[in-house]
Amino acid sequence: MDIALGAAVRIRRRTIGMSQEALAEQCNVSFQQIQKYENGANRISFSRLVQIARALKCRVVDLLEVLDTPDRENTTELDLLGRMRTPGALELLSAFERMPAEARSSLVNMLKVMTAGEPAQPAKAKEVA
């Protein structure tokens, strides 16, 4: 749960373009402490969570939402937050969102082939007029 909450803090912070240093300054802690919170190494107290939410301009419940799953066996959201901690994941998602739909589809297909170890199917060449 600490890892999931930390990931939610990281995602929100990065979404609004705030650095760990800026968040740390607003919460009167070191940026290393913010790193520990975001990695789930240190548990976030409720009072600190309130400070963090205010600094991130969101509600506490927005950060806790991922933990409030009625079916504890369904860990899809927690898995997603864990994956979002992978270096480069947020930058990749941001770039992916800016791509045209056709390019996104091609990229997803290419990645499926690359990760499955299957030979790539040649792309259909567009005719140039």
Q: Which two tokens stand for residue 59?
A: 């509600």
The region, left, alpha or beta by phi > 0 then psi within -120 to 50, assigned to residue 45 is beta
Is residue 31 located within the same domain as residue 57?
yes
Is residue 57 located within the same domain as residue 103?
no
126 part of a folded domain? no
Find the domain containing 33 and state its range.
2-85
- Give the count of domains, the chain: 2
* pLDDT of 74 over the 60 cut: no
Is residue 74 located within the same domain as residue 111?
no
Is residue 75 located within the same domain as residue 114?
no
Where does the pLDDT of residue 111 fall: very low under 50, low under 70, confident under 90, or very high at 90 and above? confident
More confidently predicted of 69 and 10:
10
Where does the pLDDT of residue 51 fall: very low under 50, low under 70, confident under 90, or very high at 90 and above? very high
pTM for this model (two decimals): 0.60
128 part of a folded domain? no
Is residue 43 located within the same domain as residue 77?
yes
57 part of a folded domain? yes
* pLDDT of 24 over the 90 cut: yes
Question: Distance (Å, rounded) from C-alpha 124 to C-alpha 104?
Answer: 16
